[in-house]
Chain A
């Protein structure tokens, strides 16, 4: 219980600090608040316009006051409008969120779907040609950043053979499933490649360990077939690191797919944040960064709590450590 309380306390602390820093960040931009005002009203703002903007953004209050009013706005959904296009920030975030979610979910499914069988077979047939090919290729994939993979995929699948559209014109799953999946195909593969590599290596290592343990040897001696042995007996205890990894990646992926979203012109959260940063839409940046951070924090918290619950050894050593 001490562990859980400590974790929760830490999380609260982090959330407070993160939201606080983000909320006051606007004040410390080079150029000062004048920049913000100029962005909102255009150059040559009158004193009344300036005062109005400062009031709206909470820049005329104390640090703490700004934080409080920011939190209030955030929680009530009163996020204001973008500078350049007068669009509701909340709407933009709501539009971007599903796209990132789709991308992340498809990427994880694809990566895990490939990684699990490959790792299992690799571990089983350790040092075979298959194993060596799998590990070498996984290692190579870890060295291929997504902005390298993407152009290659685009070249082969969109330019030379027009199987997939480029840029990915996002279509809702409900409007046209085929177009939807076609749009997400290349981005999913791009994201999944490094994920797959990581998962494959992790699971393979754990599987190798498990396959050497006593109970497996016992099971084999009892005559359990290869299939059930691998997937029922050996796989489950080996999933630990993989699951941790996958869970943590959920949060990391949300924001970390900036480059992929940019290359394929998918208007997800990552791209929204980058475009807003470049376009100096600071309030939008604030809200998207905070949301992504909160998701990530929350998921990490879940992972930590689940970790402790699942593995009593860990819990014990933690209590000591």
Chain B
């Protein structure tokens, strides 16, 4: 289990991908979502709306001018094939309740599966594969209605039973089960075979956001049953999406062909797409430049910088709802120095994040002082987190800790086998040793085991990337103490944060439907992280989607209810390949 495409935190080659399981990709309660200027077609609303909350949520992100295509006049034409280079393959492919889904996974599999709901740019969610999602008065029960006339690629009809089957498996999944923890029962509506009723033990206003992610992806029950007994079928997914499985070679490529009966006409345009796995960022860039692939995504600062200036390969940048690259700390490990806030904040003071951004990221990313990027609810320009390197203060804090706890202070820092991550790790090792830590060991873990290590809590310090999204509720599974069983057991709250104040805030947010209050809660959470230094914040990820000039359509589309889907869909870096088209 657990290949999380582990890519470098800030730069090229390998980035530590976010494990977005419940990925409620959707919607901020308020605050404009800055999908402006991110589309090749320039059709976006240049909105910088401030939500009812009132405070300024304008993005401070360096935006780029849209690439110089005159695509406003161009109309999509059907046909053609696109080859896209992606950063990583997926572990345990491709059953929704088992796959360890990060960005590379979402980019690929959302073409095969549709999700029940989706984010929209009105700061909320809209039904997608489901025709309706109706709550009861106190949000303890949701009725999900399947869209009429939709069948899976293998002919199985999509109905309430299919929803139930998928959600049940989701609940039993080792990782996805965490996202559905509050759910008590899932049943077909006795009054309507096309609907399913989900009851939960708590008020969950934000539930549909969870259904916008992996958990809400609907697979054919026939296929699910067949692959229960035949392992090799598991990697040949059958869904309702715009593309149909054609071929999959692990760690190499995934090819899919057009679904001619796709319910959301006029999509898709392309006849087929191939996703090629090219983990090394430089290789991916070169593959585009040499024409081997038609489209790539990248977080490599230098590559983004390079393509910004290029006219041969138009690039779209997605920085809204971005994940944050950061260093995760295991904060409740017995006997660990990291249980003490002085040590944690000392590590933060000792680090010079801006230097990393400038030297490794080519200055592309924006420095982060909290988990929420500028377009996310809860973003604050200042959170109480150290904003620049202050080695003297770091040394002071460590000295104070050592006065109380004499003895050697050792830390182990886990990273992947990627060279850039190793470079960063060695620099961090340097800083922290200077601050007073006696011994920092670097633990290079192979990708396959990286996520397992985090899940089991077998680490002290860990390089990671996460927390994109809109609603604070999406972070529930990462931060709530209920998601923090003891070391050796599986936990999504990798750092095993057990903070009662944080718990209270998260619970309140889950039940609330008041955008103003939700914003306040998110900001309080932000400040809490800032003062407690639970994580060492790095920078907000910027994704570049660069392609040949004949490839168009990296943009938004209209949801069935008339609202527009937001760019990046809450996991920065992804878009909807069904809108792609190529010049013939």
Contacts and interface: CB of A to CB of B under 8 A. Distances in A.
Contacts of A249: none
A256 interface: no
A87 interface: yes
B250 A85 contact: yes
B92 interface: yes
B232 A87 contact: yes
A42 interface: yes
B489 interface: yes
A256 B420 CA distance: 28
A280 interface: yes
A320 interface: no
Chain A contact residues (Cβ within 8 angstroms of B): what range? 20 to 34
B18 to A, nearest CB: 19
Interface stretch (B8-16, B62-70, B255-263, B449-457): B449-457
B251 interface: yes
Given A167-B283, A169-B292, A86 B234 contact: yes
A85 B89 contact: yes
Chain A interface, DSSP helix/strand/loop, else mixed:
loop
A151 to B, nearest CB: 13
Contacts, number: 76
Nearest to B280: A167
A294 to B, nearest CB: 25
A66 interface: no
A159 B447 CA distance: 28
A166 interface: yes
B1 A165 contact: no
B299 interface: no
A161 B290 CA distance: 13
Contacts of A87: 232, 235, 249-250
A279 B175 CA distance: 21
A41 B456 CA distance: 14
Interface residues of B, number: 34
A60 interface: no
A86 B231 contact: yes
B448 interface: yes
B1 A82 contact: no
A86 B449 contact: no
Contacts of B568: none
Interface in A279-301: 279-281
Contacts of A38: 452
A278 B446 contact: yes
Contacts of A241: none
Given A43-B456, A278-B446, A82 B490 contact: no
B544 interface: no
B446 A84 contact: no
Interface of A: 38-39, 41-44, 81-88, 92, 95, 162, 165-167, 169, 265, 267, 278-281
By Cβ-Cβ distance, the 6 closest A-B pairs, closest first, are A42-B1, A85-B250, A279-B448, A87-B250, A278-B446, A86-B234
16 contacts: A38-B452, A39-B1, A41-B1, A42-B1, A43-B174, A43-B452, A84-B3, A84-B250, A85-B235, A86-B231, A87-B250, A92-B250, A165-B290, A165-B292, A169-B287, A279-B447
Given A84-B92, A86-B234, 17 more contacts: A42-B175, A43-B1, A44-B174, A44-B489, A81-B232, A84-B3, A85-B3, A85-B91, A85-B93, A85-B235, A85-B250, A86-B235, A88-B232, A95-B249, A278-B446, A279-B446, A279-B448
